[in-house]
Structure 1
Amino acid sequence: MRNWLILHVLAACCFGCRAEESVIQPTEDVEVVEGQPTQLSCTFDTTDLSPYLFWYKQQANGKPMFMLREDTFGTGETATEFKERFHARLNVTAKSVPLTIQRLQLSDSAVYYCALRPTVTTVYSALLQKL
């Protein structure tokens, strides 16, 4: 018997972005089968020639957790707890950065956010500097 999981793709973030910049994610629940791979889509529009795209995961009653960053230089960064099964590849030409999750687990049920630089972390640090 297969266990079904629901991944919530709720919103995209573009904090501090200019009017011509945006991040687009389907705002829908994705039903997936435990143990199988899945891909969550994220497209963006920016005039920045070197965009940075981020993925965050937010579990029920929790705060968004940084998962990974992809950039045009190919260096990127992935938080330790996401290195094994979570991958994204920035495609500047297609203006997309899909998130692939391998071997889905029950603990993967969460809300996933895609964000374009600058992100929430920039807003938080600006607020902390004002205090």
Structure 2
Amino acid sequence: MRWLLTGLSFWMFCSSTECKGEEKVTQPPGDVILTQGQTATLKCTFSSLNEYSVLYWYKQEVNSYPKFILTYYGGKIYNSPEFVKDRFDAELKDSSVPLMIQDLHVCDSAVYYCALSQ
């Protein structure tokens, strides 16, 4: 097995029979523009043949590092203490785990990333 780590990208190469298919996560391009107090729903779709895959959501503000918001694993959502579940939540919908941010604040303005791992 060979591993290559490049920035935030992680690639795994293998030739065993357990490596069937490909894991992929996508977000639609563009900005979501809303006003204070509204609810944002940020889309994230994935394809994976691995039932043990874990999906993550991150928030990155200007001139800062990505901050972990929550993870979806085994049918449950686990929030970071900084991002409380009453405002930041997600749920599985087919092959999508959209992030919902309720009661938007100006400080919620950022770039949001979803990521998938095994």
TM class by smaller structure: 0.7 to 0.9
**Corresponding pairs, count:** 103
Unaligned runs of 5+ in 1: 1-12, 119-131
Q: State the 1:38 CA deviation.
A: 1.4
Deviations 1:20-64 (A, max 9, x none): 211010121111111111100000011111221000000000000
CA contact (8 A) 1:14 1:117 kept: no
Amino acid at match of 1:98: P
Contact 1:14 1:22 (8 Å CA) reproduced: no
Q: Give the share of equivalent positions with the same residue, in percent.
A: 44
Partner of 2:11: 16
The answer to whether the Cα contact below 8 Å between 1:71 and 1:90 also exists between their aligned partners in 2 is: no
Q: What TM-score do the two structures reach when normalised by structure 1?
A: 0.71
The residue number in structure 2 matching 1:37 is 39
Q: Which runs of 5+ in 2 are unaligned?
A: 1-7, 14-20
Contact 1:88/1:98 (CA < 8 Å) preserved in 2? yes
CA 1:55 to 1:38, structure 2 compared with 1: closer, same or farther past 3 Å? Answer: same
Distance 1:17 1:43, change over 3 A: farther
Query: Does the alignment pair 1:54 with 2:56?
Result: yes
Which residue of structure 2 aligns with residue 87 of structure 1? 89
Q: In structure 2, what residue type is equivalent to 1:64?
A: P
- Give the structure 2 partner of residue 96 of structure 1: 96
Equivalent position of 2:4 in the other structure: none
Whole-Å separation in 2 of the counterparts to 1:33 and 1:105: 8
How far the C-alpha of 1:116 sits from its partner, in A, is: 0.2
Quote the Cα distance in structure 2 between the aligned partners of 1:14 and 1:46: 17
Alpha-carbon deviation of 1:14? Answer: 6.3
TM normalised by structure 2 equals 0.79
Indicate the structure with greater helix content: 1
- Structure 2 SS opposite 1:112: strand
